[in-house]
Amino acid sequence: MNKLLILTLSAAAVLTACSKQDNEVASPDGKIKFAFDNSAEGLFYSVAEDGQQIIAPSRMGFVLAGNDSVARFDVIGVERSSHDDTWETVWGENRYIRDNYNQLTVNLRQKSADSLAVNLEVRVFDDGFGYRYVFPEQSRDSLIIMEELTEFKVPAGSKAWGMTASDPYYEDYFHLKPIADLDTVRTPLTVETGSKYLAVHEANLTDYPKMDIIGLDSVTLKARLVPWSTGVAAYIPVPFATPWRTVIIGDRPGELVESSLMLNLNEPCAIADPSFAKPMKYIGVWWEMHLGNGTWYYGPDHGANTAHVKEYIDFAAEHGIPGVLVEGWNIGWEGNWPTNDHFDFTKPYPDFDIKEITDYAASKGVQLVGHHETAAWTKNYENQLDTAYQYYADHGVHNVKTGYVNVLMDGKEDHSSQYGVRHYRKVIETAARYGTNIDNHEPVMPTGLQRTYPNLMTQEGVRGQEHNAWDPDGGNPPEHTVVMPFTRGLAGPMDYTFGTFNFDNPVYPFARVRTTLAKELALYVIIYSPMQMASDTPANYAAKPDAFQFIKDVPVDWEKTLVPDAVIGDYVVTVRQDRNSTDWYLGAATDENARELDVKLDFLEPDVEYTAQIYADAPDADWETNPTAYTVSEKTVSAADTLPLHLAAGGGTAIRFIKK
């Protein structure tokens, strides 16, 4: 076995070579200060805001394989730069994003003949910071990384919302725990310090494993890279830049959601003409199968049959919903399908006439949303990638949902490993060549790549609505959806697929959607995704046309997003301005407790009257006993008003504001 080398990135020279100030970089507004420090033990960093310590001295560095000596580093130089510009998103929660930071680059070199050069790049924004390790061009052309030493030491008494790393799909709950009680958890990891909210995550995960976090003691969060089956974390070429390690710092939970730090730390759009990456709503032959009505596999109850799909297309056309997802259309679903390594992405079942379906859809202005369930047999998928995307493109299908239901990829590697990261990237890049957008289920945790590849529209990686159909735990508790915006949601769009209008579940009576109908509507504003599913069946929507109107109206692309009021795990109020009109939308949701909220409408344009179309819980609504009791009403309001909202237990309110 290789001996491990602990690169402590010690930079003893810095104290003599640089004045104290040289080891600091501040945010543009001067409030956040990031400092690096060299001690005999290695390289550390610390962060303060307004003089208050946010990150106590925390270790940086790597464990490498294949080297038996411990390296020491000299500081070769310290470079500084500043940046301030505003860029326009192809789609997103905000149209314009200001990218404003001060950068410090510390050039480090190992003290040995075979000296390794590493640059520490730090960017400090007004709402947090990010840093990464860059291996510049040098004599070696590759490195084997076993582990990072990266730590984040948070203030004493902090607690964090962590999700266990034991679920390969990130389909678990986030729980608030003292730092020492976090075993291995996923990021985004949201820390409550008592006075601040911190979100620890990463940006631009490229050719590298995901970073999980271990709570080492009551204050120390330590990085843990998800390894290959060989035990190696990453085989990297040199030159190479690791993903950014990021911390957003907020005084209120909403600031974490409003931050664009992760997107700013990704590369600009790599697609020459990304105009095909269009946000959209979709319905699908999907929920009925999860409820046990109909099958993915071919047989008497096969859901994806031409006649049935046409019913969905008719409904979509009638209501202006652009997409219809169809799962179970292709060969491979027989038996215990996650064991099937032979899904065929160009062979439909005999009762699914893809030409007839796509011609029919096109004639009605509707698109088929394709589906590639790979069961995580990625080699089988990669062997068919080009033919599969060409096949769909030939039928006018340019939105594809992918899936990876299997604990390991190819029976061997973790979804979150470098192996997984490489595979997902290959799919995104291939799809982009065919002008095709991706909705990726069972992904590696998103890190903002949609800035570079806007065809990566949305991803799962969340305990979504499907669990409410069949999970033996009974379904996601009402609290789940008021935790998610401040945890998983910080990583980017979520294909949660809400929209339930009928809460009956005869086949799996132990499980249910644990919200009210009004809260299902509010989630379209609260949980962001540029591809939003209306997951219930056409029949259930047709039965409640007044409530369905909100799903028809609600945008999937936003000019601006604010989260003015929230307590993580209790309630949330989100407001967003439509990108294509002057309308504003509001979503408010609560946990299992009923709540009265007063919402200031000061986000609206001043001195203008708006019609508020209000979709609310009826006075006797309750997620458990009376979920479908809702009211639809109108009111004239202005920015000077405060609107009282009643949210039922497990309930919510959705509002559209239209300028008069």
Q: Which residues are catalytic?
A: 466
Closest by Cα among 301, 297, 284 to 337: 297
What percent of the chain is helix, strand and coil (3-state, nearest 5)?
20, 35, 45
Contacts (CB under 5 A) with Ca ion, residues 428-467: 441, 460
- Are 118 and 134 spatial neighbours (Cβ–Cβ below 8 Å)? yes
Q: Give whichever of 104 and 326 is closer to ligand NOJ, judged by the CB atom.
A: 326
Q: Cα–Cα distance between 144 and 514 in angstroms, integer?
A: 47
Q: Give whichever of 263 and 494 is closer to Ca ion, judged by the CB atom.
A: 494
Q: Is 403 in the site for ligand NOJ (CB under 6 A)?
A: yes
Minimum distance from CB of 315 to Ca ion (Å)?
24
Residue position matching structure tokens 């297309």: 313
Q: Give whichever of 123 and 441 is closer to ligand NOJ, judged by the CB atom.
A: 441
Q: Give whichever of 413 and 460 is closer to Ca ion, judged by the CB atom.
A: 460
312 phi, psi to nearest 5 deg: -65, -40
Q: Return the residue of 70, 176, 331, 405 that touches ligand NOJ, per CB under 6 A.
A: 405
Q: Give whichever of 132 and 441 is closer to Ca ion, judged by the CB atom.
A: 441
Tell me: cis bond preceding 188? Omega within 30 of 0 counts.
Answer: yes
- Are 131 and 121 spatial neighbours (Cβ–Cβ below 8 Å)? yes
Helices of type H across 231-278: 253-258, 261-264
Contacts (CB under 6 A) with ligand NOJ, residues 36-95: none
Site string (384-423) toward Ca ion, x via CB under 5 A = ----------------------------------------
Q: Cα–Cα distance between 176 and 430 in angstroms, integer?
A: 39
Minimum distance from CB of 376 to Ca ion (Å)?
12
Total of chain residues touching ligand NOJ, rule CB under 6 A: 8
What is the amino acid identity at position 485? P
**From Ca ion, ligand NOJ, none, which one binds at residue 327 (CB under 5 to 8 Å depending on kind)?**
ligand NOJ
Q: Give whichever of 107 and 481 is closer to ligand NOJ, judged by the CB atom.
A: 481
Minimum distance from CB of 492 to ligand NOJ (Å)?
16
Q: Cα–Cα distance between 93 and 95 in angstroms, integer?
A: 7
**From Ca ion, ligand NOJ, none, which one binds at residue 373 (CB under 5 to 8 Å depending on kind)?**
ligand NOJ
Contacts (CB under 6 A) with ligand NOJ, residues 469-488: none
Q: Cα–Cα distance between 122 and 131 in angstroms, integer?
A: 4
Minimum distance from CB of 600 to Ca ion (Å)?
37
Two tokens, residue 572: 């949330």
Give 449's DSSP letter.
G
Q: Is 288 in the site for ligand NOJ (CB under 6 A)?
A: no
Q: Cα–Cα distance between 517 and 247 in angstroms, integer?
A: 35
Residues whose CB falls within 8 Å of the CB of residue 407, separated by 6 or more in sequence, listed in order: 168, 376
369 phi, psi to nearest 5 deg: -95, 115
Find the helix or strand (DSSP H, E) in which 639 lies. Answer: none
Total of chain residues touching Ca ion, rule CB under 5 A: 2
Minimum distance from CB of 428 to ligand NOJ (Å)?
18
Minimum distance from CB of 360 to ligand NOJ (Å)?
23
Q: Return the residue of 439, 460, 479, 559 that touches ligand NOJ, per CB under 6 A.
A: 460
Site string (372-391) toward ligand NOJ, x via CB under 6 A = -x------------------
Tell me, rounded to whole angstroms, the distance of Cα 405 from its chain centroid. 18
Query: Would you tell me the crossing angle of helices 545-553 and 517-526 to the nearest 10 degrees?
Result: 0
Closest by Cα among 271, 205, 269 to 241: 205
Q: Give whichever of 327 and 559 is closer to ligand NOJ, judged by the CB atom.
A: 327
Contacts (CB under 6 A) with ligand NOJ, residues 430-449: 441
Q: Give whichever of 258 and 460 is closer to Ca ion, judged by the CB atom.
A: 460
Closest by Cα among 597, 580, 481 to 528: 481
Tell me: cis bond preceding 279? Omega within 30 of 0 counts.
Answer: no
Contacts (CB under 6 A) with ligand NOJ, residues 315-374: 327, 373
Q: Cα–Cα distance between 293 and 220 in angstroms, integer?
A: 48
Minimum distance from CB of 160 to ligand NOJ (Å)?
26
Residues that bind ligand NOJ (CB under 6 A): 286, 327, 373, 403, 405, 441, 460, 466
Residues that bind Ca ion (CB under 5 A): 441, 460
